[in-house]
Amino acid sequence: MTAALAPLHRGARSALTAALAILAACGDNEPPPFEVAELMKPETCMTCHPTHYREWSGSMHAYAADDPVFLAMNKRGQADTAGALGDFCVKCHAPLAVQLGLTRDGLNLAEVPQWAKGVGCYFCHNVIDVQGTHNNPLLLAMDQTLRGGFRDPVRNAAHRSAYSPLVDADSPQSSKMCGACHDIVTPRGVHLERTFAEWQSTIFAQDNPQRHLSCGECHMISNTDVIAEDPAVSVKLRPSGRREHTFAGVDVALTAWPERPAQRAAIERDLAATVQAKLCVLPTNGGEITLKLDLVGAGHAWPSGAAHDRRAWAEVIAYNAAGEVVLSSGVVPADKDPEEISDPYLFGLWDRTFDERGRPAKFFWEVARVESQLLKPAVTVDRFDPRFDHSTTKSYPLGALRPDIVRVTARVLIRPLPLRLFDALAGDGLSPALKAELPTLELRGTALEWTPARAVNLCVE
Ligand code: HEC
Ligand code: HEC
Ligand code: HEC
Ligand code: HEC
Ligand code: HEC
């Protein structure tokens, strides 16, 4: 607009008002933006937002409907419920495909075009309303406007831009947008995945600008890049920078997929400072090792979300002067799940789920009851509130062995999925060979070594 007006004399301006109004109505004197069908394709964004595209392409949002575990589990769910599951799963894992009627149950995803699978750029950036708190109640405008956090976007030839607090990570409202898909209430009414509800209970969701942290503020860190590389317009560096779009969590692509090393590095970076650990060798209770875990980095429980499928645990190994192992817990071989090692002292962090008859539930549509065993987030800053200390401590009995102990190591590990899930889904097309792709990730910040010399008040942290 400004550029078009610049050569005109001031006096000519009012005479042109009527003509301008007409021009404005048909696209503000600029080439019309791309059709909605084009804007739905992430590849359309690649030319001007190459870094957003690259990071997103390796994310679990991009992989959500290609994930072989998802495909097999949805297939099994449809079979087990005689189709009653319907679009329950694909509504979050391929929401645009459901919206466009390209799939009803996710069983035909192989024929759905790639651009409509997963959680794409258009789906997040076209949201105009959040009509609930779980199971993806997001409403799209289905127009040519992409919403973001900027009130003064430079115009471009591809799309219109608009500010929306729902897609502004600095706005408390944006957590509702993420949260709407990051909370699952199953068809049986079980609140199985609770990341959004957990976040709402924390100090980060409180109406206090000093403490408030949205999902995006933690998960989409700012970089000092321009936000668009559009040669047709002049784009300046913004003080708030560009937000990372890797959406790193715990899951990794198990099959050939872009950006695997970068995604893995982002996951390890984010996990490193999530939990703080304190390891002690104490004379209490007849001699014991204690490991205290404090969730400091996350704005919800840990693990969170798919916490029934996560396997997080602490490994603790104590040695005597001869270098012999005198106590060990959580030493899990690569081919076993932590619950399989019959370890009476296992410090295992995941949601235990049970079916209607009280047996361990195999799949999530069978779950009738959840027993949560997760690290708890910070819910108060009041030191006198009993919930202020939200850490969890596990004790390992040593008895008379205590004086012999000269070294103890500890660390927290997490695997995205249990190995037994691959066996359970082998008949639904999931290759057991993919078990080998499953990483065991160490939370670097929890790796501790206790020796009498290092210990301060009998503890290291
Ligand atoms: C022809 C180049 C071009 C293409 C193609 C393009 N954009 Fe943009 N986009 C821009 C420019 C330029 C800006 C403004 C940058 C600024 O103001 O610093 C922008 C801004 C944005 C914003 C911020 C809007 C706001 O108000 O906060 C979002 C979100 C966005 N684009 C998403 C997308 C998505 C999603 C796609 C693909 C469907 C896409 N863009 C395709 C050039 C483009
Ligand atoms: C899961 C939702 C989600 C997906 C998927 C997503 N974005 Fe974003 N995007 C956001 C949020 C939230 C912001 C933060 C806006 C802010 O705080 O200014 C953002 C910011 C942006 C911006 C503004 C500049 C910045 O970095 O803050 C652009 C441009 C953008 N995204 C482009 C894309 C493109 C291109 C894709 C796909 C390749 C994509 N986004 C996928 C949620 C998403
Ligand atoms: C349309 C639904 C939807 C929206 C909106 C959404 N997500 Fe997701 N998100 C998903 C799905 C589905 C996955 C899991 C994909 C998989 O692992 O197969 C996921 C995965 C993730 C992961 C990786 C977790 C893992 O499995 O390791 C993170 C982190 C994440 N989302 C953060 C966000 C943030 C932050 C926002 C808001 C800016 C957001 N999401 C908005 C559906 C959504
Ligand atoms: C105070 C920062 C913070 C806030 C706020 C926050 N997260 Fe997280 N989140 C983390 C950290 C740290 C982790 C653990 C590291 C990792 O897995 O990336 C994590 C992990 C996750 C995971 C993977 C969990 C798992 O175990 O599978 C998802 C998904 C996720 N967050 C989504 C969200 C959503 C959605 C919101 C908002 C409702 C949110 N987060 C708010 C810091 C935060
Ligand atoms: C409300 C949205 C939503 C629905 C409904 C949903 N998912 Fe997800 N799914 C997610 C999100 C978000 C994640 C990432 C969770 C995390 O990391 O905390 C995820 C992760 C996954 C994963 C990878 C981690 C894991 O638990 O194995 C699989 C597989 C999966 N979902 C399968 C399914 C299947 C099958 C269904 C239907 C029975 C389903 N999902 C329904 C949002 C959804």
Residues 6+ apart with CB under 8 A from 50: 229
Task: Round to whole Å and give the CA distance between 60 and 66.
Answer: 9
**For residue 456, how many C-alpha atoms fall within 13 Å in the half-sphere facing its CB?**
3
Least confidently predicted of 14-18, 73-77, 212-216, 369-373: 14-18
> Measured in angstroms, how far is the CA atom of residue 74 from the centroid of ligand 5?
10
Q: How confident is the model at residue 29 (pLDDT cuts 50, 70, 90)?
A: low
| Residue 461 buriedness (CB in 10 A; 0-12 / 13-18 / 19+) | middle
Q: Which two tokens stand for residue 420?
A: 């037994």
> Measured in angstroms, how far is the CA atom of residue 295 from the centroid of ligand 5?
23
Tell me which residue has its CA closest to atom 3 in ligand 5.
Answer: 92
Supply the pLDDT for residue 240: 85
Task: Round to whole Å and give the CA distance between 402 and 413.
Answer: 25
Supply the pLDDT for residue 10: 33
Dihedral sign for Cα atoms in the order 374, 375, 378, 382: positive
Supply the pLDDT for residue 404: 95
Task: Round to whole Å and give the CA distance between 339 and 354.
Answer: 15
Give residues (CB < 6 A) around ligand 4: 175, 178-179, 182, 195-196, 199, 204, 213, 215, 218-219, 248-250, 267, 270-271, 274, 297-300, 303-306, 310
Q: What is the pLDDT of residues 212-264, one digit of tens each?
A: 999 999 999 999 899 999 999 999 899 888 999 999 999 999 999 999 999 99
Q: What is the pLDDT of residues 399-456, one digit of tens each?
A: 999 999 999 999 999 999 999 999 999 999 999 999 999 999 999 999 999 999 999 9
Supply the pLDDT for residue 32: 82
Task: Round to whole Å and give the CA distance between 278 and 458.
Answer: 10
Question: Do 52 and 245 form a contact (C-beta atoms < 8 A)?
Answer: yes
Q: What is the pLDDT of residues 261-297, one digit of tens each?
A: 999 999 999 999 999 999 999 999 999 999 999 999 9
Q: What is the pLDDT of residues 357-414, one digit of tens each?
A: 999 999 989 999 999 999 999 999 999 999 999 999 999 999 999 999 999 999 999 9
In this predicted structure, the answer to whether residue 26 has a pLDDT above a threshold of 60 is no
Q: What is the pLDDT of residues 284-338, one digit of tens each?
A: 999 999 999 999 999 999 999 999 999 999 999 999 999 999 999 999 999 999 9
Question: Do 223 and 33 form a contact (C-beta atoms < 8 A)?
Answer: no
Nearest to 181 by CA among 106, 130, 217: 130
34 lines ligand 1 (CB under 6 A): no
Ligand closest to 232 (CA) is: 1
125 lines ligand 1 (CB under 6 A): yes
49 lines ligand 1 (CB under 6 A): yes
Nearest atom, ligand 5, residue 186 CA:
5
Q: What is the pLDDT of residues 116-149, one digit of tens each?
A: 999 999 999 999 999 999 999 999 999 999 999 9
150 lines ligand 1 (CB under 6 A): yes
In this predicted structure, the answer to whether residue 30 has a pLDDT above a threshold of 80 is no
Pocket test for ligand 1, best of 161, 167, 224 (most atoms within 8 A of CB): 161
In this predicted structure, the answer to whether residue 23 has a pLDDT above a threshold of 70 is no
CA 148 from chain centre, in angstroms, equals 20
Residues 6+ apart with CB under 8 A from 345: 329, 394, 396, 397
Task: Round to whole Å and give the CA distance between 406 and 343.
Answer: 23
Pocket test for ligand 3, best of 52, 60, 221, 244 (most atoms within 8 A of CB): 60
Task: Considering only residues 7 and 398, tell me which one the structure prediction assigns the higher pLDDT.
Answer: 398
